[in-house]
Structure 1
């Protein structure tokens, strides 16, 4: 999540980071899982159950390790983290958008510099893609930024929650959709797994993508953005919750779909405290979903709040609540699943 203060009269380019029923140990609780009454629900349930706390932890211990050097934009450590993610997708058999030609979308240094990025080097967005079976031209975006703030005075800022948690969440969601596809139950609409760079410096990667979309924004149904979903904030200490921001800003249906997905799965407390563009924290503008929203694409931003280790070198993997990370990841997956497989595309009926 980007930490910048901008006057309220300007566009705030800050950043931030945000389930079936699951037992406290991170294992599935069968008796509280969604009811199975049809082939479609069985397919959902099988995919949903592949999202595990153990795999989230395994991947996060790599992504947020000292070896990655804090993943600053364009740094060797960030590139190494990106290579790990790409190998993860290759192992699953998930490819990249054909039009792109690789998993990488280059974000040039000049693009970032013109937007206040100083002397940042060239960097890359990473894109993985599962084509829809019935409406492949319609795109669901599941996004997270994989950069953090790097190493300062010899101390690595690992960014386990910000946004290592969102990064591994997107990876697990991709794994679940791919499992469904291999079982003959792939999504009807296409899913783009978008890992963006440069968020901490100014939402640069997502801005570059929306300025240079691989798929037309007119065909982009929704962006579900995950930025910090592995911790709790002081206000919600010990609660089973997640902040949801922006879900009814552009579509009257998205919030309804997300709430229904939550009720049939882990039934987290959906906290709408920051779900207001005029909120003093300005969180609606502070992560990568905003670059989709300003292009009239419905968004939902999932976030755990500002905790005591935010943007500090103490944001480490040992402090992540992996069972809660699993539940929040499952909520985003379920929301994406329902939107991807709905008979009709969700409406854009608000301004």
Structure 2
């Protein structure tokens, strides 16, 4: 019994050795070619994807930095009694321009006037018989691809001062436009800091002397820091914090004036930006040169339109507190105000980053 077991074991060992030798000999064939290297990750994989609804997540990210809370905090400062109603040429208006300059300095947004200054000084001769001087405030973000092309976003910094010791704060007119412009600039600056700056340059233009005949914007249009031929559009913000009594039933609106007056391209880009990101009711009730209110001629966009620069005027309409001491920050509709400011931001983003600038409509 033991002997047979030894013989069987010996046979098994021999068989295993034979199989191993056969397997080893099969490796003498030529080696297989090496596997190709893994394909590199495409740079586009690192970029944000468009959302299912067509929104660019970068635009959504930066528009959402414009909040009702921040607008409210700054508007209460800007439309306070300390600013004395911001009448052109007064100490209150000087406080206002220094306030704005300080905001841009904190954000590290450079000045847009000559030699990097923030003020474009307007000599008293320009004001005719009025013995005053004043200044526009300019801040500037340079474009990454087409820096010579400039989008202007404007708002007037002045109001009507004091009367009989009563301060006219001008919270809606035009504190709302002024602070919206600051917040829009901050959103673009954050985008630039994070490597997503605008392809075209943007001029944030706070004009003086609107209340005495659009004098600040007229001065800029006659003495442009950046050639008007290279100015692709002006988005003008004048009163966007309140609700027109005519719209109290449907408040998700803003009046647009002038968007198709000079450029159908501008109108179409504006509509697209709104439909994609905000979906506000763009109301064109006052969008006519024959409008009896003549709103097309009554704010600073018109100084650019006269020079054939395409324009949009954003406006909430008038209300019972228009040009009264009761135009105060506590009456602003801050959520609606923020939504309108976001609309202007996304429209500016579209204009600053589109392949083509809006062209003038022929005829």
Question: What's the TM-score once normalised by structure 2's chain length?
Answer: 0.84
Structure 2's unaligned 5+ residue stretches are 1-48
Q: 1:237: how far off?
A: 1.6
For 1:291-310, list aligned pairs within 5 A: 291-310=303-322
| 2:350 maps to 1:335 | no
1:312 — aligned with what? 324
The structure with more helix, counted as a fraction of residues: 2
Measure, in 1, the Cα distance between the counterparts of 2:122 and 2:283: 34
296, 301, 308: which one pairs with 1:289? 301
Q: Which has the larger radius of gyration?
A: 2
Q: For the structure 1 residues 212 and 237, does the alpha-carbon distance in structure 2 shift closer, same or farther, using more than 3 Å as the test?
A: same
Using the TM superposition, give the Cα deviation of residue 265 of structure 1 relative to its aligned residue in structure 2, in angstroms: 2.0
In the aligned structure 2, how far is the partner of 1:156 from the partner of 1:149?
Answer: 9
Whether 1:85 aligns to 2:100 is yes
Within 2, Cα distance between the matches of 1:80 and 1:152? Answer: 18
C-alpha change, 1:315 and 1:344, in structure 2 (3 Å) is same
Which residue of 2 is the match for residue 130 of structure 1? 141
**Mapped partners of 1:184, 1:40: distance in 2:** 19
Q: Which runs of 5+ in 1 are unaligned?
A: 1-33
Could you tell me which of 252, 260, 271 is aligned with 1:248?
260
Which structure ranks higher in relative contact order (CA pairs < 8 Å, sequence separation ≥ 6)? Answer: 1
Q: How many residues align?
A: 314
- What residue number does 1:153 align with? 164
Question: RMSD between aligned alpha carbons?
Answer: 1.7
Identify which of 46, 58, 76 aligns with 2:61: 46
Change (3 A) 1:165 1:155: same
In 2, Cα distance between equivalents of 1:177 and 1:298: 21
Question: Once the two structures are superposed, what CA deviation does each residue of 1:225-267 show, in whole Å capped at 9, x if it has no partner?
Answer: 0000000111012511100000001101111111111112221
Q: Compute the displacement of 1:89 (Å).
A: 0.7
- Contact 1:46–1:180 (CA<8 Å) still a contact in 2? no
**TM-score under structure 1 normalisation?**
0.87
SS at match of 2:206: strand
Secondary structure, aligned partner of 1:69: helix
Please point out which of 230, 252, 262 is paired with 2:241. Answer: 230
CA distance in structure 1 between the partners assigned to 2:337 and 2:132 by the alignment: 32
The residue number in structure 2 matching 1:76 is 91
Using the TM superposition, give the Cα deviation of residue 37 of structure 1 relative to its aligned residue in structure 2, in angstroms.
6.3
